[in-house]
Structure 1
Amino acid sequence: MNDNDHADETPQERIAKVALYLESVKARMPAEEFETLQQAVHEMAHLLADGREGILDAGDRENFTDDVQKEFLTVMAIVTTGRMDHQVVDMPGPDGSPGYVVVTQELANDPEELAKLREKIHHNAIERKAIDTELDGIARASGIDTDN
């Protein structure tokens, strides 16, 4: 099955895949963490259904552990692509901060391509930080409060 085979799936088919995946996660994840994951998925579903962007409350919770974050990324990948064969890969930021990417199995098993992806992500993060710093300086010079 290629990437385009999932394009015609109905939302109900993707929801069924997510439900199946969540059942497998529930069997292997501590109850508190699973509850946090379920809440994050619920919030994401509402944002998508309303066609809105937003920030999930679950990110502030004590139980939004690395494992919950990885499972949440997997669920997001299933919802957006319809595929269940993604892999979450550790991809620390340029400063060493933890981070993850969701990639295909093929990419996950290709160290050279992962290294290229890491380099691209780091380049973009460094560039974004430089832009943010410049914009912050402009805002401060203009007397705009940037502490919000």
Structure 2
Amino acid sequence: MNDNDHADETPQERIAKVALYLESVKARMPAEEFETLRQAVHEMVHLIADGREGFLETGDRENFTDTIQKEFLTVMAIVMTGRMDHQVVDIPGPDGSPGYAVVTPELANDPDELAKLRETFHDWATERETIDTELDGITRASGIDTDH
């Protein structure tokens, strides 16, 4: 099955896949973690359905554990692509902070391609950090109050 095989799926078919996946997660995840995941998925699906950009309000970030983050990414991959075979791989930041990427099984099983993906991410993150630092300096030098 190729990526285009899911292009003609109805939203109802994708919702059914998400519901099936969430049932499997519910069976293996502690109830309080599952509730955090369920709320995050609910909020993000509504943002997508409304065609809005926004930030996911996960409440207490300490409760949005690595496990919940990985499951959330998996669910969002199903919502967006209709595919249920994605894998979440670790892509730590340049500073070693945790990070993840959702990839196809083919990419997940190709160490050379994963290494390229990690390198590309590190390059992007390093460039982004440099730009943010420069913008912060400009903001401070201009006297712009960013607390508002």
- The TM-score range, normalised by the shorter chain, is over 0.9
Residue of structure 2 equivalent to 1:137: 137
Q: Aligned partners of 2:85 and 2:96: how far apart in 1?
A: 27
Q: TM-score, normalised by structure 1?
A: 0.96
The amino acid across from 1:52 in the alignment is: R
Q: Aligned partners of 1:85 and 1:59: how far apart in 2?
A: 29
Q: TM-score, normalised by structure 2?
A: 0.96
Structure 1 residues 13-22 or 137-146, which shifts more?
A: 137-146
Aligned-pair CA distance for 1:138: 1.2
Structure 1 segments, 4+ long, off by >4 Å, are none
Q: Which runs of 5+ in 2 are unaligned?
A: none
Residue of structure 1 equivalent to 2:114: 114
Q: Aligned partners of 1:85 and 1:3: how far apart in 2?
A: 11
Contact 1:32 1:63 survives alignment (8 Å):
no
Tell me, what secondary structure is at the counterpart of 1:146?
coil
The amino acid across from 1:71 in the alignment is: E
Residue of structure 2 equivalent to 1:10: 10
Report the count of equivalent residues.
148
Aligned-pair CA distance for 1:48: 0.7
**1:65-144 correspondence runs (5 A):** 65-144=65-144
Percent identity between the two aligned chains: 85
Could you say if the C-alpha distance between residues 120 and 18 of structure 1 is closer, same or farther in structure 2, counting changes exceeding 3 Å? same
Q: Which runs of 5+ in 1 are unaligned?
A: none
Structure 1 residues 106-115 or 58-67, which shifts more?
A: 58-67
Contact 1:140 1:146 survives alignment (8 Å):
no
1:16-71 alpha-carbon deviations (Å, 9 max, x no partner): 10000000000000000000000000000111111111111225344311100000
